[in-house]
Amino acid sequence: MDVAEIQRALIARGYDLGPAGADGDAGPKTIAAVTAFQRSAGLVADGIAGPLTVKALQGADVSERRAEPEQPAWLTLASHDLGTVEGIGKANNPKVVAYFKDAGFAGVKDDATAWCAAFVNAMLERAGRRGSRSLAARSFEGWGIGLKEPALGCIATKKRGNSTWQGHTGFVVGANKDQIFLLGGNQGDKVSVAAFKRSEFTAFRWPADVPLPVASKLPTSIAGARSGVSEA
């Protein structure tokens, strides 16, 4: 298999190689996808498409040990915190402050600091997965492995206004042609499920050391999900 054939095999398995797709250039996204595929196939994860990797890619089963479409551990943990709200006035909710600590930012002692990325990172770390280790929401755009379509529990990033760096992040729990539903922190100053315009999203990501989820239909609406909530 040449590079383009390897890329087409990866794309067939759901790996996102970016807009260039199967361009024949073994760039960083292709190497990251090869590495993730090797992990899921039980091979040495070195990012090099050697004979064993090529043989696995040529196999008829394109699901290569993907995870079943059940709720991932980090989403289960996040669901348990639905309804957690910021403190009123100068008061700080210790549960929100704990998100910063578990995300690796123990120096943040208030819940007035934007905490959507802290929440996502904390849930991942509590579930035994390494997060982006950043409080920037859009740091997840380059984290893990990209997905072509949203999947239950994947980490989504979206832009905020016309900013090139400001954004929001959360866990996907539903989607339709116009909206993405996120379970996230700092959505209306609390952990909630909210609806956002699909056109605002910049990436859907999955932990690189976890088998990709199988394709499954997401809920197209979520009862009680609000639109237009504050993300700041």
pLDDT tens string 148-201: 899 999 999 999 878 778 899 999 999 999 999 999 999 999 999 999 999 999
Given 3-state DSSP classes, what are the helix, strand and coil percentages for the chain, each rounded to the nearest 5?
30, 20, 55
Structure tokens at 97: 């402050």
* Cβ neighbours of 179 (radius 10 Å): 21
Residue 12's pLDDT is 78
103: Cβ contacts below 8 Å, ≥ 6 apart: 117, 118, 121, 122, 125, 131, 133, 135
Residue 68's pLDDT is 47
63 falls in which pLDDT band (50, 70, 90)? very low
User: In whole angstroms, what is the distance from residue 105 CA to residue 93 CA?
Assistant: 16
Closest CA to 167 of 190, 139, 209: 139
Most confident of 11-15, 67-71, 141-145: 141-145
Structure tokens at 144: 């893990």
62 falls in which pLDDT band (50, 70, 90)? very low
Higher pLDDT, residue 65 or 87 = 87
Least confident interval from 55-64, 143-152, 194-203: 55-64
Residue 64's pLDDT is 47
Average pLDDT on 51-63 reads: 75
Determine contact, residues 81/95, Cβ cutoff 8 Å.
yes
Determine contact, residues 126/77, Cβ cutoff 8 Å.
yes
Q: Please write the tens of the pLDDT for every residue from 20-41.
A: 888 988 888 888 888 888 887 8
Residue 31's pLDDT is 86
Residue 103's pLDDT is 96
What distances in angstroms separate CA 18 from CA 97, 163, 173, 176, one per listed residue?
36, 21, 23, 22
HSE-CB for 190 with a 13 A CA cutoff: 15
Cα of 82 vs its chain's centroid, Å: 18
Residue 228 has pLDDT above 80, yes or no: yes
Residue 66's pLDDT is 52
User: pTM value?
Assistant: 0.74
The DSSP element (H or E) to which 74 belongs, if any, is helix 73-80
Q: Please write the tens of the pLDDT for every residue from 81-125.
A: 999 999 888 889 999 999 999 999 999 999 999 999 999 999 999
